[in-house]
């Protein structure tokens, strides 16, 4: 079964009327001959928090990388209707990426790591200092600016990675299973942090995960994907009247949301076996 409903938008503003990114019938075949994505279409509007959920090998990370411009498509197009496009067909400075690993430069301090995207644009350390410290403060790491990555815990490294992604004030934040390697307590904390940042900045997030609970907690739209070849199985909004916090985690509404998402995922996996 494929459910396809128009997602409900939170408080629509002017910038949120046009889609931010539109994937049209995108397919991706690797040089090994594996068809990683088949005819995937997805339109994400400004301010959405979309989770790409699915079993491993369903192409969710591939889809995210393709949106980021890391790798070409074999067929189909990706459009950015509300952004200025650079020579590589990507929206200039509008996207940031958070990898599964913190992916920090070990030879740079926390400050140096967060400075990187600005440095590549030619902004000096001195000119970027205020912005970097402000961004570090939003992830609670203002006191660790001079620390090296090896001195930080896994969760803190991930916060640095998020700060680096946010320092350019992107419109779209792409997150590829960012908290999969963290313990449950740290993961919940970071989930709350990401939600807070999403609310405060109005940024659009596409979040790849294989966790039903994480996707049900974070997103206001879920795209369930199917494997071999990777394709969209279901695409539905997930709205709640409650604010997403510790109370929501234990509420009946969250349980129902998890059940719905879980059923969709089971369907996607079940369909794959036949």
Partner 1 sequence: MATDPDLMPAKPGLFARNCETLLRTLIPICVVVGLILLWQFIITVNGIPQYILPGPLAVANSLYNDWGTLWPALWVTTQITLQALALALIGGVGIAIFLVQSKWIETAFYPITVILQVTPIVAIAPLILIYAPTTQVALLICAFLVAFFPILSNMVQGLKSVDHNLLNLFDLYGASRWQTLLYLKLPSSLPYFMTGLRIGGGLALIAAVVAEFAAGSAGAGSGLAFRLLESQYRLNIPRLFAALILLSVLGVVIFMITSFIAWAFLHRWHESSLKREN
CB of 165 to partner 1, least distance (A): 9
117 lies in the binding site for partner 1 (CB under 8 A): yes
CB of 245 to partner 1, least distance (A): 30
CB of 166 to partner 1, least distance (A): 13
The one among 84, 88, 184, 241 contacting partner 1 by CB under 8 A = 88
Compare residues 111 and 254 and give the one whose CB is closer to partner 1.
Answer: 111
CB of 62 to partner 1, least distance (A): 13
Closest CA relative to residue 244, chosen from 203, 209, 202, 194:
194
CB atoms near residue 256 (< 10 Å) = 12
The one among 35, 68, 180, 182 contacting partner 1 by CB under 8 A = 68
| Angle between helix 125-138 and helix 110-119 axes, rounded to 10 deg | 120
The one among 19, 99, 186, 199 contacting partner 1 by CB under 8 A = 99
Q: Which stretch binds partner 1 (CB under 8 A): 55-63, 99-107, 191-199, 219-227?
A: 99-107
Measured on CA atoms in the order 66, 69, 72, 77, is the torsion positive or negative? Answer: positive
CB of 64 to partner 1, least distance (A): 11
Contacts of 234 (CB under 8 A, 6+ apart): 1, 2, 3, 4, 222, 223, 224, 264, 267, 268
Q: Which stretch binds partner 1 (CB under 8 A): 15-23, 74-82, 95-103, 248-256?
A: 95-103
CB of 71 to partner 1, least distance (A): 9
Number of residues near partner 1 (by CB under 8 A): 27
DSSP alpha helices (H): ranges in the chain?
Answer: 60-67, 110-119, 125-138, 154-166, 184-201, 212-218, 246-249, 252-273
178 lies in the binding site for partner 1 (CB under 8 A): no
State the number of CA atoms in the 13 A half-sphere of 114 facing the CB. 32
Under a CB-based contact definition with an 8 Å cutoff, are residues 7 and 237 in contact? yes
The one among 70, 85, 127, 266 contacting partner 1 by CB under 8 A = 70
Q: Which stretch binds partner 1 (CB under 8 A): 22-30, 102-110, 124-132, 185-193?
A: 102-110
CB of 117 to partner 1, least distance (A): 5
- How far apart CA 141 and CA 163 sit, in angstroms, is 9
Closest CA relative to residue 42, chosen from 226, 264, 241, 223:
223
The one among 7, 50, 61, 97 contacting partner 1 by CB under 8 A = 97
182 lies in the binding site for partner 1 (CB under 8 A): no
249-253: which pairs have CB atoms within 8 A and are 24 or more residues apart? 249/188, 249/217
Torsion angles phi and psi, residue 202, rounded to 5: 70, 20
Residues between 118 and 177 that touch partner 1 (CB under 8 A): 119-121, 148-150, 168
103 lies in the binding site for partner 1 (CB under 8 A): yes
Burial readout 66-76 (b: 16 or more C-beta within 10 A, e: otherwise): bbbeeeebeeb
The token pair that represents 169 in the structure block: 């004030």
Residues lying near partner 1 in the complex (CB under 8 A) are found at 65, 68-70, 86, 88, 90, 92, 95-97, 99, 101, 103, 105-108, 116-117, 119-121, 148-150, 168
């Amino acid at each position: 079964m494929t459910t396809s409903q128009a997602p409900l938008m939170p408080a629509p503003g002017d910038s949120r009327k046009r889609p931010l990114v539109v994937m049209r019938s995108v397919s991706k075949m690797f040089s090994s001959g594996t068809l990683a994505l088949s005819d995937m279409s997805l339109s994400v509007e400004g301010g959405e928090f979309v989770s790409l959920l699915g079993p491993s090998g369903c192409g969710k990370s591939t889809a995210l990388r393709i949106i980021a411009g890391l790798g070409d498509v074999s067929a189909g197009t990706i459009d950015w209707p509300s952004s200025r496009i650079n020579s590589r067909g990507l929206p200039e400075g509008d996207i940031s990426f958070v990898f599964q690993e913190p992916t920090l430069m070990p030879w740079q301090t926390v400050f140096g790591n967060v400075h990187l995207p600005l440095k590549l644009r030619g902004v000096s350390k001195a000119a970027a200092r205020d912005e970097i410290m402000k961004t570090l403060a939003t992830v609670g790491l203002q006191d660790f600016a001079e620390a090296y990555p090896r001195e930080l815990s896994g969760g803190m490294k991930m916060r640095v990675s998020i700060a680096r992604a946010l320092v350019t004030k992107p419109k779209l934040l792409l997150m590829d299973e960012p908290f999969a390697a963290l313990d449950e307590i740290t993961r919940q904390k970071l989930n709350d942090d990401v939600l807070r940042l999403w609310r405060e900045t109005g940024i659009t997030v596409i979040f790849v995960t294989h966790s039903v609970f994480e996707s049900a907690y974070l997103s206001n739209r879920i795209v369930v994907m199917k494997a071999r070849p990777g394709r969209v199985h279901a695409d539905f909004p997930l709205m709640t009247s409650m604010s997403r916090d510790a109370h929501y985690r234990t509420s009946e509404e969250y349980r129902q949301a998890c059940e719905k998402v879980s059923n969709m995922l089971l369907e996607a996996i079940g369909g794959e076996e036949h």
